[in-house]
Structure 1
Amino acid sequence: MSATGSDAWWASKKGPEWVAAASGTYRVTFWWRDPAGTQATSRVQRVWLYITGVTDHHRQASPHSLQRIADTDVWFAEVELESRWRGSYCLIPSENETDFPPDAFASPPDRIALREGWRKLLAHAIADPLNPQSWRGGRGHPVSALEMPGAPPQPGWGASETPFNEPHCLTWHSARLKNRRRVWVFTTGEGVSADRPLAILLDGQFWANSMPVWPALASLTTQGQLPAAVYLLIDVIDNTHRSQELPCNEAFWLAVQEELLEQVRAIAPFSDSGENTVVAGQSFGGLSALYAGLHWPQRFGCVLSQSGSYWWPHRGEGQDGFLIEQLKKGALQPHGLRIVLEAGVREPLIYRTNQALLALLEHKPVTIEWRPVDGGHDALCWRGGLTAGLITLWHSLSRTA
């Protein structure tokens, strides 16, 4: 047996390892190799473990650090996860003994202290060097993927080698919004039929660059689980524009309808039918998708909302979010919308407000499917929900229907 911390021992490590626990959960061990060696030669005092929805501020749990095995370059931590859990994580080596204010270690920990501590630390996060499944997450820092054996399937995402049509990348100059941004137009299937349905994916830069969605969509189309379609991915420009344009912004959606759709149609014809037009988004994008469907159901008849920020604009203030308030007042009367509503059980505020929204929509003349997910505010969960949601909303159009 190789000595702990030897080159041969490290060669056997391929990322987190887990064993089944008697409770039906899994005990997961995370490893990190200190490039500076042992405690005698390294200045590293902490290796913070940030697991979305488990050790982050959403959980309101004290910050979690790996521990060094004395006189080795080995750091490790054990965490218990549910059998259906899926999510991303990152490591944050630090030369400080404590990077959080004392309130972060109170009982219970102060959520603001946790949020601020993690916000500063995440700028120094690294992906797990032992895990080849890594990317740059939606918040801009590197993350790695982890899923337990019981995690639900993610349609299309195992087909990374599937050939696909090259997407068109355009620049949209908006007169109404007085800005410009990239958009991507992607088509699946053969031919250029004007009967193809349209799907608009918000936060398009993520699905185009950080976690390219093209092979998954192409594979599912080839399999007949999705129809031949046109996909429009819209860049957010930057976080400032994202926070202004996505939360319930009429001007943004008027610009999409009056300016962008005709520009896209000239490249890739699609159906005018709102009945099969999908708007899909996550977080602020999920809020925006439902806003579009509620206000222009004749154009955007299908909504795929994942981890929608329905608390907006009252984060943690105990007040109804804007859309929930409007629905309660009767200011919005949706008719005929088809909605897939998804939220993670490990994102408490968002999960709670999604349930409040669901309770209102269930009494409206809409078709709605509710999907709770054992995960957090996490793109690794969203990618499977995105393709599964498209399959649900376009079921009547696919070859397997």
Structure 2
Amino acid sequence: MKPTTLPCATTSSAHPLFQQNDLGSKNWWNQVQHIGNPLILKKNHRTHCTFLWRCQSQAEQIFIDIYSQTPSIYQQWNQFQQIENTDIAFFEIELPHDWSGSYVLVTTTDLAPHTTDAAVRRQWWQKQLQQHAQIDPLNPYPAYPAQVARWVNQVHLTEKEENYTQDLLIQYRSLQWQSTLLETTYPVDLYQTSDELSANRPLILFLDGQVWSQHLPILQQLQTLTDQNKIIPACYAFIHSINSEQRCFDYGCRDLFSQALVEELIPYLKQQFGLDNSKISLCGQSLGGLCALHTLLLYPNALHQLILQSGSYWWSDYSQSHFLKDQQQRFLELIPQHLQRIPTDRNILIRTGQCETDMCEDSEQLYVHLNPFVDTQIHTFAGGHDAVNWRHDLIASLQILLSS
């Protein structure tokens, strides 16, 4: 359990910076700023990482959640320790030597609940993520907003990743999809990698599209791959999810949302791009993966290809689905009875992170269901349930679907 006051560490981190006599001085923090968060010590095939935070007051409490690596905050609060008589707070963990992922930092004066009730802990933590999640000023990589956390920070223990700001030079078009069926307006970002007027260019739709057009953009990579003739020219539509509540409502087996995608948005996008006989692909992560697969089951002739990353196939709330009404099983268990409706020429790519134990099992079961009926591939990528990991796998998956 987390104590009600900030603990003071009597011993310091193993990193050499902590052996200096000027701990917490301006010069010391300048060294930290130069090195960047986290401080790294290599140990065989593991990496000892020390995350730092410069405290503003003794009342400040600092929490961290390193996705797929720290213990679940529903079981344990992962709290920084403070070195006595300094403004240094730190958290230590061993990570795989080539780890890429992300983490959230929360600084708060609110007291964490002393309960083991997961629902109470979740409610408190989500409030902290929305109000007190911080951009880590010591991290060299750009932070990005998420559905629940106000800010998420990246961590890469291997060589420096490409600078996402290069995508700021890529000009895309934005519009407002005013859905009549849903009585809701969704921003959509549009991009095409070629000006050619071919009416059969592929159309790729992304759920949670703002992640891939703005927060962790992939436009530059798509353009480069096209210019190198590694993928064919295509049209891309990035459908924003508005907020976490609306996202859960839309993506959680909501028949009307799938209907609006197929009957409203896709025809509108074809008109915008000048398309006719295009293959339509839909990409989704987590609940977005569930939504993409649900849409295919509802409209098997509308979609030709799916990229399903870490899909939430455990879902069992069908309150917004006439298609699945009165069902008592998990979504994954309902799939076999609908497979005969899917044309055999469809392509489905199933992806999951190696740290996602339950989702790995569900993805393997989904593959067993689908593979006898449609062309299905399954792949496990390094990392966990994390947009940083999805980004690299998404680009690799698009290369498979759009290989020239």
Normalising by structure 2, we get a TM-score of: 0.82
Answer yes or no: is 1:7 the counterpart of 2:22: no
- Cα distance in 2 for partners of 1:144, 1:197 equals 33
Answer yes or no: is 1:79 the counterpart of 2:93: yes
Superposition RMSD in Å: 2.7
What per-residue deviation string (whole Å, max 9, x for no partner) do you get for residues 254-279 of structure 1?
A: 322322223222321235243xx211
- Structure 1 residues 27, 15: CA separation in 2 closer, same or farther (over 3 Å shift)? same
Tell me if structure 1 keeps the 8 A contact 2:167–2:217: no
Task: Specify which of 374, 382, 391 is matched with residue 383 of structure 1.
Answer: 391
Moved more, 12-21 or 245-254: 245-254
Shift of 1:164: 5.9
Aligned to 1:53: 68
| Paired residue type of 1:86 | S
- Cα distance in 2 for partners of 1:111, 1:83 equals 31
- Structure 1 residues 158, 270: CA separation in 2 closer, same or farther (over 3 Å shift)? farther
Tell me if structure 2 keeps the 8 A contact 1:167–1:186: yes
- Structure 1 residues 175, 90: CA separation in 2 closer, same or farther (over 3 Å shift)? closer
Aligned to 2:102: 88
- Structure 1 residues 239, 135: CA separation in 2 closer, same or farther (over 3 Å shift)? closer
Aligned to 2:52: 31
Shift of 1:137: 2.1
- Structure 1 residues 338, 75: CA separation in 2 closer, same or farther (over 3 Å shift)? same
Shift of 1:239: 3.1
- Cα distance in 2 for partners of 1:373, 1:348 equals 12
- How do 1:2-401 residues align onto structure 2 when only pairs under 5 Å count? 3-13=22-32, 14-22=36-44, 24-36=45-57, 42-44=58-60, 46-55=61-70, 57=72, 61-95=75-109, 98-103=111-116, 111-122=118-129, 123-133=131-141, 134-149=143-158, 158=163, 160-161=165-166, 166-274=171-279, 277-313=280-316, 320-322=329-331, 324-329=332-337, 332-334=340-342, 335-362=344-371, 364-395=372-403, 398=404
What per-residue deviation string (whole Å, max 9, x for no partner) do you get for residues 364-399 of structure 1?
A: 22222222234232111111122111111112xx2x
* 3-state DSSP of counterpart to 1:292: helix
Tell me if structure 1 keeps the 8 A contact 2:286–2:311: yes
| Paired residue type of 2:190 | V
Shift of 1:231: 0.5
What per-residue deviation string (whole Å, max 9, x for no partner) do you get for residues 201-225 of structure 1?
A: 1112333333333223222222323
What per-residue deviation string (whole Å, max 9, x for no partner) do you get for residues 128-163 of structure 1?
A: 11013212123241111012339xx98xx5564368
| Paired residue type of 2:112 | D
What per-residue deviation string (whole Å, max 9, x for no partner) do you get for residues 80-99 of structure 1?
A: 11234321112222335x51
Tell me if structure 2 keeps the 8 A contact 1:304–1:389: yes
Tell me if structure 2 keeps the 8 A contact 1:2–1:8: no
| Paired residue type of 2:370 | L
- Cα distance in 1 for partners of 2:123, 2:94 equals 25
Tell me if structure 2 keeps the 8 A contact 1:164–1:214: no
- Cα distance in 2 for partners of 1:258, 1:213 equals 27
- Structure 1 residues 82, 148: CA separation in 2 closer, same or farther (over 3 Å shift)? same
- Cα distance in 1 for partners of 2:103, 2:176 equals 34
| Paired residue type of 1:352 | E
Unpaired segments ≥5 residues, structure 1: 37-41, 104-109
- Structure 1 residues 244, 49: CA separation in 2 closer, same or farther (over 3 Å shift)? closer
- Cα distance in 2 for partners of 1:240, 1:10 equals 40
* 3-state DSSP of counterpart to 2:84: coil
- Cα distance in 1 for partners of 2:265, 2:317 equals 31
Unpaired segments ≥5 residues, structure 2: 1-19, 319-327
* 3-state DSSP of counterpart to 1:132: coil
Aligned to 1:39: none
- Cα distance in 2 for partners of 1:183, 1:357 equals 30
- Structure 1 residues 162, 118: CA separation in 2 closer, same or farther (over 3 Å shift)? closer
* 3-state DSSP of counterpart to 2:190: strand
What per-residue deviation string (whole Å, max 9, x for no partner) do you get for residues 109-128 of structure 1?
A: x6445423422322311121
- Cα distance in 1 for partners of 2:230, 2:133 equals 38
Shift of 1:100: 3.0
Aligned to 1:107: none
Shift of 1:330: 5.1
Aligned to 2:7: none
| Paired residue type of 1:254 | Q
* 3-state DSSP of counterpart to 1:285: helix
- Cα distance in 2 for partners of 1:337, 1:393 equals 11
- Cα distance in 1 for partners of 2:37, 2:132 equals 20
- Structure 1 residues 268, 165: CA separation in 2 closer, same or farther (over 3 Å shift)? farther
Tell me if structure 2 keeps the 8 A contact 1:246–1:284: yes
Number of paired residues? Answer: 370
